Amino acid sequence: MTGGDTGVIVLAAGRGTRMRSALPKVLHPVCGMPMVAHIVGAARQLQPARLAVVTGYRGDLVRAELREAGVDFVDQPELLGTADAVARCREALEGCGTLVVLNGDTPLIRPGRLQGLIATRGDAPFAFASCVVEEPGRLGRVVRDENGRVSGIVEAAEYSGPAGPAEINAGQYCFDAAWLWANLEKVPISAKGEYYLTHLVAIAHEAGTPAVTVECDPLEALGVDDRVRLAKAEREMRRRVLERHMLAGVTVQDPLTTYIDATVRIAEDVTILPNCHLVGATVVDGNVAIGPGTTLRDARIGEGSVVMSSVIEDSVVGVNVRIGPFAHVRGGAVIGDDCELGNYAEVKNSRLGRGVKMHHFSYLGDADVGEYANIAAGIITCNFDGVRKHRTVIGAHAFVGSDTMLVAPVSVGEGAVTGAGSVVTKDIPPGAKAVGAPARVIGKAHPAEE
C-alpha cells in the first residue's frame, strides 16, 4: 500500500511496428487481458492518488478498453518519445510528490516490485529497475562510472559496443516529481527526433545526484514488441495464473496443456483435466470436474457439475449437471440443476428446467423446456423460417420421441408425448400423444390413466 501523494503514468502511446498489426501494441492480450490492463492493475495496487495513461496511436481503442478503469487519459498527438509523453502529464498529476512511470508493454511487472522501487528511491532524484540479461537486444544498456554509480542509459539504436550480457533498463521508474518537472526540459533531442526519458539518468549523474537502481527479475523487464515476446509473456503469465489457482485448491492435472485467462474465477476442489481452455469471464463453482478437451468461454458452471470434452459459451450451467462428451452449449443458454446433456447435444439460447435429459444427437435452439422433460435422440427445434427465429416451448415431464422435428413457433404441452419421427407443426395439448408427419393427436399420452 502506498497511496498518499503518489501518481502513476503508464506510457501506452506507441504503435509497436514490430508487432505487424493494426492493433496498438499495448492492446494485444496476455492471458485474456490487454497488456496495458495488466499494468494498470498492478499500478492500482499502489493505491495512487492519480493514475494517467498516455495514448497516441489508435488512442480511441486504448481509451475504450480502459474506460471503466478509473484512469485519466493524456493524449500524445505526435509520438515524440517517452520524455515528451511524461511532460504532457504534468497537469493531470498536479499535486503528486512521487511519480511512478511504467512502460505499457511490460505486462509481467509485479506490484511488490513497484513498492520496492518507491521505497528504494530515498533522497535520490529517481530510481529505476534494472537487471542483467544474456542478450540485451533492443533494450537500453545501463552505464556506470568507476564508483559504480549509474551514469547513463544507452539506447540500443545508439549502442556500438561489444555484444554479450549487460545490465539493462526495465522501463519502471520512480521520480521525485519536483525534480522530474524541473529537468524534463533539459532532455536533448535524439538522432531520431525524439525525447527519451532515459536521458534523465545522465542529467542526474552530471548534477552529482545520480539515480539508484532496483534489481528485478528479467521477466518483469520483458518488453513485448513482437509476437515472439508476446508468446513468452503469455507463457509466463499462464504459469502464474495456474500456480495461483493450484495454491488456492484447484487440481490442474497437466499445467502444460491447460489455459486459464487471468479473468477466470475458480472455487476450491475443482479438477481440470488436460487440454482445457477457461477464458473470459468464466466462473466455476466448487467440486466441478472439467475436461479433458473442454472449452469454457464466459460460462458459469454450478457446484458439483461435470463438463467433459465439450464447449460452453456465454451460458449458465446449474448444480449437479452432466454435460458431454462433445456437447455445445452457447448463446445465452441456461441449463437447470440436475440436467444431463450427452454426446453431440447442442443447446442455443434456451432454458432447460431441472432434471431435463437430452442424451444424444439433438438440437434445442430458442426453446423453453420444462422440468424433467425427456429429449430423445435426433430431436431438432426448427427455429428459423428463413427470415425470423421463433421459440419452441416444451412442457414439464413431456417426452419428445426420437427424430421429432419441432417446427417453431410451436409448443408441446406438459406431460405430452410425440412418437418417433413426428413433425410437429401445431401445438400439442398437455397430456396428449401425437404421431406422424405432420403430427396429429391420437389420444392421451398415458391411456391407462384415463
Per residue in 341-351, pLDDT (tens digit) is 999 999 999 99
Lateral strand order in the sheet of 265-266: 265-266, 283-284, 300-301, 316-317, 334-335, 351-352, 367-369, 392-394, 410-412
CATH code where residue 172 lies: 3.90.550.10
Same domain membership, residue 408 and residue 390: yes
The residue whose grid cell reads 499495448 is 26
Catalytic (active site) residue 397: no
Residue 242 lies in a domain: yes
Per-residue pLDDT tens over the stretch 286-344: 999 999 999 999 999 999 999 999 999 999 999 999 999 999 999 999 999 999 999 99
Residue 1 lies in a domain: no
Q: How far apart are CA 416 and CA 433, in angstroms?
A: 6
Pairing mode, strands 33-34 and 29-30: antiparallel
Structure-block grid coordinates of residue 324:
458431454
Residues of the domain holding 123: 6-226
Residue 185 lies in a domain: yes
Same domain membership, residue 295 and residue 183: no
- Min mean pLDDT across 257-266, 281-290, 363-372, 437-446 is at 437-446
Identify the CA nearest to 40 among candidates 24, 51, 29: 51
Same domain membership, residue 273 and residue 199: no
Is the pLDDT score of 11 beyond 60? yes
Same domain membership, residue 137 and residue 50: yes
Catalytic residue among 199, 328, 360, 397: 360
Q: Residue 157 — very low, low, confident or very high, per pLDDT cuts 50/70/90?
A: confident
Mean pLDDT calculated for residue range 230-254: 98
Per-residue pLDDT tens over the stretch 249-282: 999 999 999 999 999 999 999 999 999 999 999 9
The count of domains in the chain is 2
Same domain membership, residue 138 and residue 121: yes
Same domain membership, residue 268 and residue 132: no
Mean pLDDT calculated for residue range 186-210: 94
Residue 199 lies in a domain: yes
Last residue of a domain, one of 179, 198, 226: 226
Q: Where are the alpha helices (DSSP H) in 66-166?
A: 82-87, 111-121
Last residue of a domain, one of 226, 256, 271: 226
Last residue of a domain, one of 226, 241, 273: 226
Same domain membership, residue 358 and residue 232: yes
Query: What is the chain's mean pLDDT, rounded?
Result: 95
- Min mean pLDDT across 137-146, 343-352, 371-380 is at 137-146
Same domain membership, residue 195 and residue 272: no
Is the pLDDT score of 135 beyond 80? yes
